[in-house]
Amino acid sequence: MNLYQRKDGRFESRIPNGKKPDGKRAFLYVLARTKEQCIECVQAICQQNRPQGYCTLTIAELFSEWHRSILHRVKESTAANYTMKADKHILPAFGEIAVSSLTANHIYDFIAEKQKAGFSPRYIADIVILMKTVFKYAVRTYQIFNPLDGIVLPKKKSPDIQLLDDAEQKTLQQYIGTHQNRSTLGTALSMTTGLRIGELCPLQWRDIDLEKRILTVTKTMQRIQCPTASSKTKLIITDPKSESSRRQIPIPECMVSFLLKFKGKPNEYILTGTEKPIEPRAMQYRFQTILKNAKLPSVHFHALRHIFATNCIKLGFERTSWAQLRRNHAESLCSQLFRPKERVYEACSDGFLKVQSFLKNE
């Protein structure tokens, strides 16, 4: 359901209402003086048009049935994330309620409770969207009315991400230059390539071609919950979060000598120098130690990825180019970046993030 306030002050919503003769979707439009009245009207219309099916399952039973049905088509980490949200939030609130007894008021009360508990609008929306997915399955399977159809989600706010300013970045660069080790190597690599911490930790030397100056991202690492196993969590290395996250990233000239200093065998992990990787949480702790020793404010490791994007823009990268470096498969971009006459290449070799000075050997 779409809901917004018009210029005349009234609230308008639309409800899917079959299809037009030309095959396009048709909508029923609802106008009301207040947001609450608009929502009530939409819910009343949905109630009138509700299917006649009935489901005797509880919400806990429905979630379990739905979860089994999706295991073959989602990543292990995704399934674990669904289970975590259900165990922590959905099932304690709704688990014993019959599926056919759930109402929109239950959902709005749940949203209000989570807001009072201090959860972000984005996280609350993620939980409700998961419930919507489960109930869409129930509609298809049991032909029941979906009480989540007209639910208005909390407005998501852009997160405030604390970054290091230019002076603080320079301090970090100088610290890395005088304290070259595998932890500072990982930090510098993320600053100059935009790697996520989950992509950095499983990086092996076979993923780096120093001759062609190409870094290939083919896997990601994370710790997931596994409540049915002997331990509560486990570390997994899987394919990247999406197909576009598989990508090739140009290695700036300023990083080559730093990487050569620690180069190991193809199967060895870059951050450990052994065939056993370091997990993201441990790398995050090491990064915090680096910041503390450099007398810098505490920021999350992911801030390095944002710093990379910001500096790319400052150096004249086009938005589509740095977006590909951060996210998308960049095979065609790499060929552009390595043409000597290209402005972007010059930024990489002559001033990429202005880090050459701190990467020189002592």
Q: What is the mean pLDDT of residues 149-173?
A: 85
- Cα torsion 161, 112, 126, 222: sign: positive
pLDDT at 318 over 70: no
- How far does the chain reach from its first CA to its final CA, in angstroms? 61
Region for 85 from its dihedrals, namely left if φ exceeds 0, alpha if ψ lies in -120 to 50, beta otherwise:
alpha
Task: Give the C-alpha separation, 354 to 254, whole Å.
Answer: 9
What is the C-alpha to C-alpha distance for residues 6 and 38, in angstroms, rounded to an integer?
12
CA 58 to chain centre: 31
Q: Is the pLDDT of residue 357 over 50?
A: no
How do residues 176-209 score in pLDDT, each as one tens digit?
Answer: 999 999 999 999 999 988 899 999 999 999 999 9
59-70 helix and 76-85 helix, angle to the nearest 10 degrees: 170
Confidence at residue 261, expressed as pLDDT on a 0 to 100 scale: 94
Give the DSSP H or E segment for 26.
strand 25-32
pLDDT at residue 28 in the model: 83
pLDDT digits (tens, 9 = 90+) for 85-133: 999 999 999 999 999 889 989 999 999 999 999 999 999 999 999 999 9
pLDDT digits (tens, 9 = 90+) for 39-84: 888 877 766 665 556 788 999 999 999 999 999 999 888 999 999 9
Looking at domain 166-359, does it have CATH number 2.60.40.150?
A: no
Neighbour-count burial of 258, counting CB atoms closer than 10 A to its CB (0-12 exposed, 13-18 middle, 19+ buried) = buried
- Our CA angle for 19, 48, 39, nearest 5°, is 85
Segment 259-266 shows an average pLDDT of: 95
How many residues appear in the chain? Answer: 362
Average pLDDT in the chain: 83
Report the C-alpha gap between 164 and 117 in whole angstroms: 30
pLDDT of 258 > 60? The answer is yes
Structure tokens at 337: 């970046």
User: Could you give phi then psi for residue 67, rounded to 5 degrees?
Assistant: -60, -40
Q: Which two tokens stand for residue 164?
A: 């290091």
Domain 54-159 bears CATH identifier 1.10.150.130 = yes
Q: What is the pLDDT of residue 240?
A: 80
- What letter does residue 58 receive in the DSSP assignment? B
pLDDT in tens, 279-295: 999 999 999 999 999 99
Parse the chain into domains and list their residue ranges.
1-49, 54-159, 166-359
The pLDDT of residue 326:
52
334 has a pLDDT exceeding 50: no
β-strands 214-217, 220-225: how paired?
A: unpaired
Lowest mean pLDDT among 72-76, 93-97, 214-218, 312-316: 312-316
CB 296 within 8 A of CB 164: yes
Task: Please choose, from the candidates 187, 172, 158, 163, the residue with its C-alpha nearest in 3D space to the C-alpha of residue 310.
Answer: 163
Cα 227 from Cα 45, distance rounded (Å): 42
Instruction: Say if residues 198 and 280 touch (Cβ distance below 8 Å).
Output: yes
Residue 330 has pLDDT above 60, yes or no: no
